A and B are shown apart, each in its own frame.
Chain A
Amino acid sequence: DVVMTQSPLSLPVTLGQPASISCRSSQSLVYSDGNTLLSWFQQRPGQSPRRLLYKVSNRDSGVPDRFSGSGSGTDFTLKISRVEAEDVGVFYCMQGTYWPWTFGQGTKVEIE
């Protein structure tokens, strides 16, 4: 299985400040059609995961533009330009290029 490695696993942040999460895969995530199937999810306490970004950098409907994604091949990054209180939770990267889907360990974002 493709191993997804996130860092850091815990991220204390100050309101209004930027935050960044790294995700690395053990294999290239470029699919046969040329797309890179890397997604980011947020899971707030007690809730189901909610997708924020798909194919590396495409925001889902309703996702604030303070969330952005970048990267290619095996190295990816989620950035929050200015953290807000509602951003607390655990963030996961996920690869959909290979079966089974695999997820990073999760990065817990909390407000300092």
Chain B
Amino acid sequence: EVQLVESGGGWVQPGESLRLSCATSGFTFSTYRMHWVRQAPGRGLESVATIISNGDSTAYGNSVKGRFTISRDSSKNTVYLQMGSLKPEDMAVYYCAREDQTGSADYWGQGTLVTVSS
């Protein structure tokens, strides 16, 4: 069974940093591109970052470029999102998602909430 389990969310003040983790199981992690997608309270879905299967290439949404870094560790089947210079508008539930061969997310984690407030 494919599982994606996010962790690391919490409350931080503006300007601070936080690292999210997404532990995966049930599939060959090293063969899939992975994504982080976020959802602000009561709002829609926004792509944050993606990393290809071997970790050699990454891409970011415009609103987080230069502040967030996505990475992966194939020895731990885990993808990370290092978030820096956090702003109140970064407050959201952050989902980890697996991209399949259809160019879409076939599996999603349960999400982890990041609160940015002074």
Q: Which residues of A contact B (CB under 8 A)?
A: 1, 31, 35, 37, 39, 41, 48-51, 54-55, 58, 60, 92, 94, 96-97, 99-106
Contacts and interface: CB of A to CB of B under 8 A. Distances in A.
A103 B39 CA distance: 11
30 contacts: A1-B62, A31-B103, A35-B102, A35-B103, A48-B110, A48-B111, A49-B105, A49-B108, A50-B108, A51-B105, A54-B102, A54-B104, A54-B106, A55-B102, A55-B103, A60-B106, A92-B44, A92-B45, A94-B45, A94-B105, A96-B99, A96-B102, A99-B47, A99-B50, A99-B59, A100-B59, A100-B61, A101-B47, A104-B44, A105-B44
Given A35-B103, A96-B103, A96-B104, A48 B95 contact: yes
Tell me whether chain B's interface is mostly helix, strand or loop, or mixed: strand
Nearest to B64: A100
B4 to A, nearest CB: 9
A60 B103 CA distance: 14
Among all A-B residue pairs, the 5 with the closest Cβ atoms:
A96-B103, A37-B103, A100-B47, A39-B104, A54-B102
Given A55-B104, A94-B45, A100-B60, 7 more contacts: A48-B109, A55-B102, A58-B102, A94-B104, A101-B37, A102-B47, A103-B45
A100 B97 CA distance: 14
A100 B46 CA distance: 9
Contacts of B35: 101
Interface in B39-80: 44-47, 50, 59-62
B83 to A, nearest CB: 16
Nearest to A106: B44
Contacts of A39: 102, 104-105
Contacts of B37: 101
